[in-house]
Amino acid sequence: QVQLVQSGAEVKKPGASVKVSCKASGYTFTSYYMHWVRQAPGQGLEWMGIINPSGGSTSYAQKFQGRVTMTRDTSTSTVYMELSSLRSEDTAVYYCARILGYCSGGSCYGAFDIWGQGTMVTVSS
């Protein structure tokens, strides 16, 4: 079945970086753009960015520009999200989510139909 499986929980010190993986299965990896969304404890959902698994192009939310890098490995059907210069406010569950929709002219439109199980990242000294 279609699923996204993420890497395990991480504990990092302030200033460090974290890299979370999301392995796709059950569908053609390169046919669906992938997003990253995070959720701080007790808070709502926050969009971080998107990657095209086919060509590797990315677009990031302004808030994370310069700190986030999204990459993919088509040989293993895996996307990665790396966040650097971590601070306590980055403590959150990080989700990958597949797009249900279309992309045209550099913009995408739709919804998120498949989600990973989430990866808890804790930033603490």
Partner 1 sequence: QSALTQPASVSGSPGQSITISCTGTSSDVGSYNLVSWYQQHPGKAPKLMIYEGSKRPSGVSNRFSGSKSGNTASLTISGLQAEDEADYYCCSYAGIVVFGGGTKLTVL
Nearer to partner 1 by C-beta: 53 or 116?
116
Query: What is the smallest separation between the CB atom of 14 and partner 1, expressed in angstroms?
Result: 26
Give the interface with partner 1 as residue ranges (CB under 8 A).
35, 44-47, 61, 95, 97, 100-101, 107-113, 115-118
Q: Are β-strands 78-83 and 92-104 bridged in parallel, bridged antiparallel, or unpaired?
A: unpaired
Query: What is the smallest separation between the CB atom of 2 and partner 1, expressed in angstroms?
Result: 11
The Cα–Cα gap between 45 and 61 comes to: 13
Query: What is the smallest separation between the CB atom of 60 and partner 1, expressed in angstroms?
Result: 11
Residue 122: closest CA among 96, 87, 95, 97: 87
